[in-house]
Structure 1
Amino acid sequence: MSFSISGKTAIITGSAAGIGLAVARHFLAKGANVMFADMDETKLGSECSEEAKAEGALRYFGGDLREKLTIANLLSATIDAFDRVDILVNASRQMRPSDPLNPDEDAVEAMWQQNLMTSLRLSQMTAKRMISQAEKAGATEGNIGSIINMSSIAARRTQPELLGYSISCAAVEQMTRSLAVALAPKRIRVNAVSFGSLMSASLQGALKENPDYHDVITAATPMGRIAGADELSETVQYLASDASGFMTGQIVTLDGGRGVIDAAAAPAH
């Protein structure tokens, strides 16, 4: 099987910074047509230079992806630019502390909307597009699309201060399994990457505020280091490619071994 994604069209959310940006750049380097999508249109525009756009393989779309109309417009812009969509990477995510005892704290609702509902709605609309384009092309064999979600080891750890984030990640993993079963007969695969010990934007921010976190995390990680975003990008490419063609409904863990030991004291990034 081939790991190639050359010539395929991918929508990658959260691509103005951090993990989403790393994955989008990686896909672009591997020959894919990439629609960079993010809520921060200004930052997105600064990352997607005019020179890169001129190559024809890159477009970008800024807008509030929590809104159904914005999602529909994102899909329309992708089809206008590349005629089709083959891969969706839901990398738009937010990590904020929560107060479990404060009912007025809106972090839970905010992360539920951004981390779960945005991915769910975009997955549903994109899957419909994948199905319709396959029917139009008369494609009756082989997989017709791949959806990859982003989760975290926080989904399986008990950290009350990350209540909203943990709940949303756990929900993303269940959404992945449910959509995988629902879409398997349609030949669309749905998988997720659950990560920890990865240099995400949220971890960079946490380390800036508290440099001691670095030693805490590496001490709790059997491999003794923090992974780079490029390592996640390679994993996402595998899930998007034909090499994982018989794989769906799986939560691939990328955490340097933290999930197989008791490391409750380490922050779940």
Structure 2
Amino acid sequence: MSLSIQGKTAIVTGAGRGIGLAVARHFVERGAHVMFADTDEAALAEAMSDYDERDPHVRGFSGRMSEKLATANLLSATLDAFDRVDILVNAHRLVKASDPLDTDLDVLEQLLRQNMMAGLRMTQIVAKRMIKQAEADPETGAAGAIVNISTLAALHPVPTMLGYSIAYAAQEQATRGMALALAPHRIRVNGVRFGSVMSHELKDSLRDKPDLRSKIVAATPMGRIAAADELVDTVLYLASEASRFVTGQIVTVDGGRSLSDRVAVQTV
């Protein structure tokens, strides 16, 4: 089985920082052509500053991932730069607290739109392109791989993060549903559910809540918080031919936290 993605073209959303950036950088190191995409233009510019603007393997795109036009423009920019797309990693996410007793559903709708619908829409538009490519070259084998980045909150909801939890539970079901729909077209759709990972958002939370780190460590059987890079190899596996008979699966990378009976702590 090969973990190679040499010469493949990947779109990675949420690539301005954290998990998305770690994935995008690793894909470049593995020889892929990578479109770094993010809503935050400043974060994306900083991430792209590590690469020569003339590097033929790397491009950047900034746009609101929750808008239909942005997703269409992102695919168009990728095709203009690299002619095709073989891998999509939906890593963009919005983290926001929500009151479960609040009758104002604006926050819930925003979280659903950005954490579930944006990725689903991107999956749909990219899948159509992958199908077209496969029809033009039926001898290539797999038509494409899509990986959705999820969170342990989808499995163990936290009341103060209810909207966030609901959005990712919906995203995981969309992962399974799209896997079934796209399997006949030789497109695989999988997810990676993370737990105690040092994301950009968790760093902010740790600054605001000094006691949060000890709570996370105590709730994690492996006794530590993972680096963002520690999710990367799982994403690479699901994006590569090494997982060519794997689809519709959500792989949990959480240091054993989901196995514990301890009360969930509010983390992102």
* TM-score under structure 1 length normalisation: 0.96
SS in 2 for 1:159: coil
Tell me by how many angstroms 1:152 deviates. 0.8
Tell me the residue number matched to 1:26: 26
Change (3 A) 1:59 1:141: closer
Tell me by how many angstroms 1:46 deviates. 2.5
Tell me by how many angstroms 1:135 deviates. 1.2
Tell me the residue number matched to 1:145: 144
Change (3 A) 1:117 1:52: same
In 1, the alpha carbon distance for the partners of 2:191 and 2:264 equals 25
8 Å Cα contact 1:134/1:144 also seen in 2: yes
Unaligned 5+ runs, structure 1: none
Tell me by how many angstroms 1:90 deviates. 0.2
Change (3 A) 1:22 1:141: closer
In 1, the alpha carbon distance for the partners of 2:241 and 2:51 equals 30
Tell me by how many angstroms 1:52 deviates. 2.7
In 1, the alpha carbon distance for the partners of 2:51 and 2:252 equals 36
8 Å Cα contact 1:19/1:91 also seen in 2: yes
In 1, the alpha carbon distance for the partners of 2:157 and 2:129 equals 38
Change (3 A) 1:50 1:195: closer
Tell me the residue number matched to 2:239: 240
Tell me the residue number matched to 2:74: 74
* TM-score under structure 2 length normalisation: 0.97
**Amino acid in the other structure paired with 1:129:** R
In 2, the alpha carbon distance for the partners of 1:160 and 1:189 equals 33
In 2, the alpha carbon distance for the partners of 1:207 and 1:219 equals 15
In 1, the alpha carbon distance for the partners of 2:24 and 2:140 equals 28
Tell me the residue number matched to 1:86: 86
Unaligned 5+ runs, structure 2: none
Identity %: 57
8 Å Cα contact 1:158/1:264 also seen in 2: no
**Amino acid in the other structure paired with 2:5:** I
2:215 pairs with 1:216: yes
Aligned-pair RMSD on alpha carbons?
1.3
Change (3 A) 1:55 1:153: same
Tell me the residue number matched to 2:262: 263
